Structure 1
């Protein structure tokens, strides 16, 4: 359904360090900087990019927005969360763990990146 996801950041170096750490847990290579100064991650046919806003205004996170990353296991979600916190991210929501939802049991881990974008590592249980 999606071709790519791009988030804004004011400090590209801090965001690259954060995403290099969290994407490595998923098996992705470190991000590369394109000619426009954007950080680009390519993994499993998907693109995830970080950029300074084109309009020159400061980057801000979406109010109510969350970007979800598929995790292979609860342990991978925990490692992803720990890598993100160690690389300048902030834990948010409840601690990583199982949540009941209309979609069944989910193991969820939430972070905010250095620019405040809300991320979720999700593993479907059963």
Structure 2
């Protein structure tokens, strides 16, 4: 088990997971607790714009196909679209859950899909 931890795909998965959780935390905090602080909104947007680039670099460096980048592009749209002041925390949480599930789905495809993408 200790041998698997140092392998590039495991490290890439950990970095991608950390990236999406940090981005989600910044986004939710900018909408709820810090909604009157424009610095949090700017930081949330900057993080959303930087994550697809970071994930693409990680995928390229570890030999993973590009498909984990796709959900992060959708999360950019979430940051621009979900800044509606009338939204309650439950609605914001549901959108965040959908974003996290899309990243998880991109990271853990069916083995047949993964092998087909890897051959390309």
TM-score by length of 2: 0.30
More strand by share: 1
More helix by share: 2
TM-score by length of 1: 0.29
Q: Answer with 1 or 2: which has the greater Rg.
A: 2
